Amino acid sequence: MLNEKSTDNTQPEELAAFPAVIRLPIHWGDQDAFGHVNNTVPIRWFESSRIGYIEHGCSDMMKETRKVGPILASVTCNYRRQLHFPDTVRVGARVSKLGRSSLTMEHVVYSEKDAAVAADGSSVVVMFNYETNRPTRISDAVRSAIVAFEGKSFD
């Protein structure tokens, strides 16, 4: 494949604290008229890393009764360095806060070409009951799964 090199899977220290890491090629078309990756693109990468985390770390979150599910309450992204095609990024996700009905996830975007962090940020996810239209408690099953996936407790 043109866009793949044999990668040793060792994570750089910038990603060491992240239990979920995905690897994504930059598309030429991710670049905008300034000639670097557009600011909306890392927001899409954050989304992909959130989904990857949930799938692998706490998949029960998506399997509650049909009327309960996670919704995104907010997202923040800090653009640390410009990204250009061609490059491959590694995007890490970890839970940094685990509240009653919401959790905070931290994201980091690491450029393989630059061997440096290109962006970081966070998102707040709320468990929501679409019937009562209100936030609802994160279940014990999801809570335990996250603690196990992170290998640490949240107090």
85 touches its own copies (CB under 8 A)? yes
129 touches its own copies (CB under 8 A)? no
- In the chain the first and final C-alpha atoms are separated, in Å, by 46
Are 71 and 122 in contact by the 8 Å Cβ rule? The answer is no
- Which residue in 77, 103, 118, 146 binds its own copies (CB under 8 A)? 77
71 three-class SS = strand
74 touches its own copies (CB under 8 A)? yes
Residues counted in the chain: 155
The DSSP bridge partners found for residue 107 are 93, 121
Pick out residues in 18-57 that bind its own copies (CB under 8 A).
Answer: 20-25, 27-29, 31-33, 35, 38-40, 43-44, 47-48, 51-52, 55-56
Closer residue to its own copies (CB): 19 or 142: 19
Pick out residues in 89-118 that bind its own copies (CB under 8 A).
Answer: 90
Rounded distance, CA 80 to CA 117, Å?
Answer: 7
The residues, ordered by sequence, that sit 6+ positions from 57 with a Cβ below 8 Å of its Cβ are 19, 20, 95, 145, 146, 149, 150
Q: Provide the binding-site residues for its own copies, judged by CB under 8 A.
A: 1-4, 9, 20-25, 27-29, 31-33, 35, 38-40, 43-44, 47-48, 51-52, 55-56, 71-79, 85-86, 90, 121
